[in-house]
Amino acid sequence: MKECNQVYDLRSALERLRSIPGQLVETDVQVDPAAELAGVYRHVGAGGTVMRPTRSGPAMLFNQIKGHPGARVAIGLLADRRRVAALLDSRPEELGKLLRDSVNHPVEPVLNSGGAPLCQQVVHRAEDPDFDLRRLVPAPTNTPDDAGPYITLGMCYASHPDTGVSDVTIHRLCLQGRDELSIFFTPGARHIGAMAERAEQLGQRLPISISIGVDPAIEIASCFEPPTTPLGFNELSIAGALRGQAVELAPCLTVKENCIANAEYVIEGEVIPGVRVQEDQNSHTGYAMPEFPGYTGPASDQCWLIKVKAVTHRQDPIMQTCIGPSEEHVSMAGIPTEASILDMVDKAMPGRLQNVYCASAGGGKFMAVLQFKKSVPSDEGRQRQAALLAFSAFSELKHIFLVDEDVDPFDMSDVLWAMNTRFQGDADILTIPGVRCHPLDPSNDPGCSPSIRDHGIACKTVFDCTAPFDQKERFHRARFLDVDPAHWVPELFPEV
């Protein structure tokens, strides 16, 4: 794909996609944000772990939203690895390496110095009698079982009460009332959760901004996790490195915090200490929303409460959303994990790990393919060490496939070919039972195995599909003549 206009916000990202055939579709047919919008996009381009039939396809822009005149909703911007590459001026197979390099060369965000930011062109304050978050923000309800309308791509930005260091992460946010949001913090998994806990210990409210509809580089960067980005590392600096230009922030109007200056929407509020919310208090369905493993998660009774102070937005704003189990989650969660594994393993054994793919079937979190090159006899066994390093750092990983450098890690058919021709179940499976993994995998439960003592514990498994180094000569693939097919069929191989 050829690089087109510079991407710096949601609108420029959409313009780039418009210039690339087949990457964006628009409709002026009115759609109901309550389950219908997600139901449409399931067929158009959701992919990922969404129930079949689905597929990976173009991003989509809905221009007529029922109950929200003047608003539009964009979905699926990152729901295809090739599209992510086009938006980040890269190639699909190089994305993990690009993000690894960006982490190592951060560009810190800066405060807006050019007058009123775009995100504050229109201001709605909660003190106004007609203020209603549910009317102002066209947040979709993905399925009829959902607890309510969810903001799925809100860049939550807050600062630590003690140190003042700031961070950005994505959390599930359910609209609960005219000026109330619930926010779910996975215990111990996100920095803003730690900030809220510390503020609660101090008896303080935590100011927070939620920026929606931003540069895709910010959405990808915000999904990095420890140990790559420890508490105190502002992931907006990764987005700055990706663009070669600092992300611009702006002061909020009603709380002492910053927001992303060119966002489409910003919700300003405070996390209230000592209050927990039943997530489905309005719907009573028992469910939250569809999560990345492909199941609808249970509603939590331990969500924190955000009291909303204001909603600001650009003229004719564009809401951005995603379907939880879609390929979009694979891109946002998986590519930063690929970058982190590449960086960690290369520091331990330089030059051996060629690439990493956090595959769609694992939702970007549960499964990784490590492409490993054995060059000398002493490299035998190091491929398994690389898998153990990845497991030790990223607790949510459950399965790792190891393949040689002649196997395409991004093609699961090629990975399974390696499994079928270079793997023996009695010799090449490594199991690590009783290890903490992810609570959203329903099989990580004592009901599924006697080795599991608590929900969220799993048996991590390595599938070593690499050829033994001392037998590599027996495993040469058929070698074809390397030619440029564009000479014969240019319409099938356009310039990239």
DSSP string, 14-25: HHHHHTSTTSEE
Assigned domain for 336 exists:
yes
Instruction: Specify whether 180 is catalytic.
Output: no
Phi and psi of 414, rounded to 5°?
Answer: -70, -40
Contact 291, 12 (CB under 8 A): no
242-286: pLDDT as tens digits? 999 999 999 999 999 999 999 999 999 999 999 999 999 999 999
Assigned domain for 130 exists:
no
Q: How confident is the model at residue 232 (pLDDT cuts 50, 70, 90)?
A: confident
Contact 353, 370 (CB under 8 A): yes
pLDDT above 80 (res 137): yes
Q: How confident is the model at residue 458 (pLDDT cuts 50, 70, 90)?
A: very high
Helix axes 236-243, 95-104, angle to 10 degrees: 110
* Model pLDDT, residue 214: 98
330-382: pLDDT as tens digits? 999 999 999 999 999 999 999 999 999 999 999 999 999 999 999 999 999 99
Instruction: Give the whole-angstrom CA distance, residue 184 versus residue 204.
Output: 19
Assigned domain for 137 exists:
no
Average pLDDT over every residue of 300-314: 97
Average pLDDT over every residue of 75-82: 97
Q: Provide the 8-state DSSP code for 121.
A: S
Domain count of the fold of the chain: 1
Give me the residue label for tokens 């939250």.
288
Locate all alpha helices (DSSP H) within 349-465, ordered by sequence. Answer: 382-393, 412-422
**CA angle 320-322-325, nearest 5°?**
170
* Model pLDDT, residue 230: 87
104-118: pLDDT as tens digits? 999 999 998 778 899
Give me the residue label for tokens 């109330």.
180
The residues, ordered by sequence, that sit 6+ positions from 39 with a Cβ below 8 Å of its Cβ are: none
- Structural domain boundaries enclosing 422: 327-472
Q: Please report, for the domain that includes residue 441, its CATH number.
A: 3.40.1670.10
Average pLDDT over every residue of 437-451: 91
Assigned domain for 102 exists:
no
Q: Give strand pairing partners of 190.
A: none
Assigned domain for 467 exists:
yes
Write the CA distances from 32 to 35, 50, 148, 205, 322, integer angstroms: 7, 20, 14, 35, 15
What does 293-335 look like in DSSP terms, one character per residue? TSSEEEPPS-EEEEEEEEEEE-SS-EEEE--TTSHHHIIIIIH
Assigned domain for 212 exists:
no
Alpha carbon distance, N-terminus to C-terminus of the chain:
4
Give me the residue label for tokens 């033994």.
468
Average pLDDT over every residue of 312-317: 97
Assigned domain for 381 exists:
yes
pLDDT above 70 (res 66): yes
145-181: pLDDT as tens digits? 999 999 999 999 999 999 999 999 999 999 999 999 9
Q: Backbone dihedral region of 64: left (phi > 0), alpha (psi from -120 to 50 degrees) or beta?
A: beta
Give me the residue label for tokens 């069929």.
489
Residue 288, classed as helix, strand or coil, is strand
Catalytic position from the list 197, 225, 264, 291:
291
Assigned domain for 331 exists:
yes
Contact 85, 1 (CB under 8 A): yes
Residue 421, classed as helix, strand or coil, is helix
The residues, ordered by sequence, that sit 6+ positions from 109 with a Cβ below 8 Å of its Cβ are: 234, 236, 237, 240, 246, 247, 248, 249
